Amino acid sequence: MSGSTECYTRFAVALPVTRIYLLLLGDRPSSFVAKQVLNLIAISLNKSKSFSRKFELVSGWTILKTVLPHVWDDNIHPVAFGMLTDQTQDQGTVVACSHILPAILGSLARMLVIVAKVSPPQDIEVNEHGAWYGPFGFEIISSLWSNEQDERSMAYAEAILEELVLLQSSCPTFRQLFESQQATQSFIQAFRSFVTRLASANEISQNHIRICEKLMHFGLTLSLDHAVAGPQKHEVRPLLSFSLHA
């Protein structure tokens, strides 16, 4: 299917691919399933100029923003960023699908919630069924609060931040995405929550400091970028100073 536009067209005409992808994805997919669905979406984006809009009409991008943070790992990462940018253009790396950015930023936010866990996390709420909820509304299973989960989440958060910093420095069309106040605010909220929680910790690890430095690096680029709205630049700058003392 990936090699034939004609075959894809027949497939898309015969079946409502946008809804099929969402059915395959479900509410709580495994990382493997989510990756395969992202691969299918990537094929559709390459074969159909109208797919992105059709997927938006069935709330597909919104659903991805909700689902991907729960399954993000080092398998999802390259597929998601591969959808975001296109490196085959003559002009270098360009944004190919801006709609995936909220899911990426949402995944970063969830990783930071886990990484910034201090003992015990003060902003975790427990409902009557014993489910844990963090400040972004993400459900967190208590058994996941382990060293292994912390290490994986730190690795995922660092990888996302490194990718964002690289794109910010090398891809003009990526910087333009932060003309959207919603995108910039998503990052600011995650940044603020992270450094605020660390400020109340009795001890901060070198891993926390390293992630804080990467957040600060990307935040600094936003504060200096003409694409970012003035009021949001003012929101970022105090966080840069705050994080230095974390």
| pLDDT tens per residue across span 170-221 | 999 999 999 988 999 999 999 999 988 888 777 778 888 899 999 999 999 9
- The listed range with the strongest mean pLDDT (85-94, 146-155, 231-240) is 231-240
- Residue 37 has a pLDDT of 94
- The token pair at 92 is 């270098």
Taking the C-alpha atoms of residue 202 and residue 208, their distance in angstroms, rounded to an integer, is: 13
- DSSP category for residue 100: G
What's the average model confidence in pLDDT over 117-123?
Answer: 49
Contacts of 237 (CB under 8 A, 6+ apart): 223
- The token pair at 123 is 């902003």
For residues 18-30, b (16+ Cβ closer than 10 Å) or e, as one string?
Answer: beebbeebeeebe
- Residue 160 has a pLDDT of 97
Residue corresponding to tokens 């069309």 = 173
Locate the DSSP E strands across 22-133: 85-86, 94-95, 125-126, 132-133
Query: What is the pLDDT of the chain when averaged over all its residues?
Result: 83
Is residue 11 predicted with pLDDT exceeding 70? yes
90 vs 81: which has the higher pLDDT: 81
- Residue 146 has a pLDDT of 57
Other CB atoms within a 10 A radius of the CB of residue 123 amount to 15
Tell me which amino acid residue 36 is.
Q
**Residue 197 in contact with residue 116, Cβ under 8 Å?**
yes
Domain ranges of the chain: 107-244
Instruction: Look up the pTM and report it.
Output: 0.83
- Residue 242 has a pLDDT of 64
